[in-house]
């Protein structure tokens, strides 16, 4: 037995759906291009606050002042412990797990041997340089066996103590391999 809904209840359902859609439209209009599936921007690294950085004065501020105001550096120069690098960026995840860089900033503080700040340098995305990645591979020793050859390659090679068994064990001593 099949129940058929009366026409009046179908029209009520359509009205209810229209009202819900009308209520949800303003909320969905404020979303990004993918709506409720978008992710908020994420701050990565050590993003330096401009107001705090302005309090550091070259010639008078020290390393301790820099750490107290803007925190520890993200990195130090490889061959110069007196160059501190603060790297910060704001990213937003997009489709396929890649990150879209919204803002990127690098602050470089240079100190003299006595620990006094000598220079403040700011860099952003416009200062970035493209890096060409070399696509080479290192050859590995061995042969180029197919998957089937790798699976079936040792079939019949193992012979514990039978005819043709090795008389020299892997440890380099003398005796029969079947003793091990």
Q: What's the CA angle centered on 29, arms 26 and 33, to 5 degrees?
A: 165
Q: CATH number for 42-127: choose from 3.40.50, 3.30.1450, 2.40.50, 3.30.70.
A: 3.30.1450
109, 63 Cβ separation under 8 angstroms: no
Q: Does residue 69 have a pLDDT over 80?
A: yes
pLDDT tens readout for residues 8-41: 566 676 677 666 666 665 555 545 455 556 678 8
18, 25 Cβ separation under 8 angstroms: no
b or e along 3-34 (b: 16 or more beta carbons within 10 Å of the residue's beta carbon)?
eeeeeeeeeeeeeeeeeeeeeeeeeeeeeeee
How far, in Å, CA of 148 to CA of 138, rounded?
Answer: 24
35/92: higher pLDDT: 92
* Nearest one of 54, 59, 52, 48 to 112, comparing CA atoms: 59
- Report if pTM > 0.85: no
Domain residue spans of the chain: 42-127
Q: What's the CA angle centered on 118, arms 117 and 122, to 5 degrees?
A: 95
């Amino acid at each position: 037995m099949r129940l058929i809904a009366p026409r009046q209840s179908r029209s009520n359902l359509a009205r209810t759906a229209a009202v819900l859609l009308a209520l949800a439209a303003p909320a969905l209009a404020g979303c990004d291009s993918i709506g409720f599936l978008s992710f908020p921007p994420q701050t990565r690294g050590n993003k330096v606050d401009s107001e705090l950085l302005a309090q550091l004065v070259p010639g008078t501020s020290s390393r301790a002042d820099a750490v107290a105001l803007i925190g520890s550096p993200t990195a130090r120069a490889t061959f110069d412990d007196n160059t501190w690098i603060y790297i910060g960026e704001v990213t937003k995840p997009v489709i396929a797990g890649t990150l879209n860089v919204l803002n990127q900033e690098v602050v470089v503080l240079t100190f003299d041997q006595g620990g006094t700040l000598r220079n403040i340098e700011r860099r952003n995305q416009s200062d970035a340089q493209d890096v060409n990645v070399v696509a080479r591979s290192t050859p590995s020793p061995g042969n180029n066996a197919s998957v089937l050859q790798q699976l079936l390659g040792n079939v019949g090679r193992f012979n514990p103590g039978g005819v043709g068994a090795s008389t020299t064990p892997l440890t380099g001593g003398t005796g029969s391999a079947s003793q091990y």
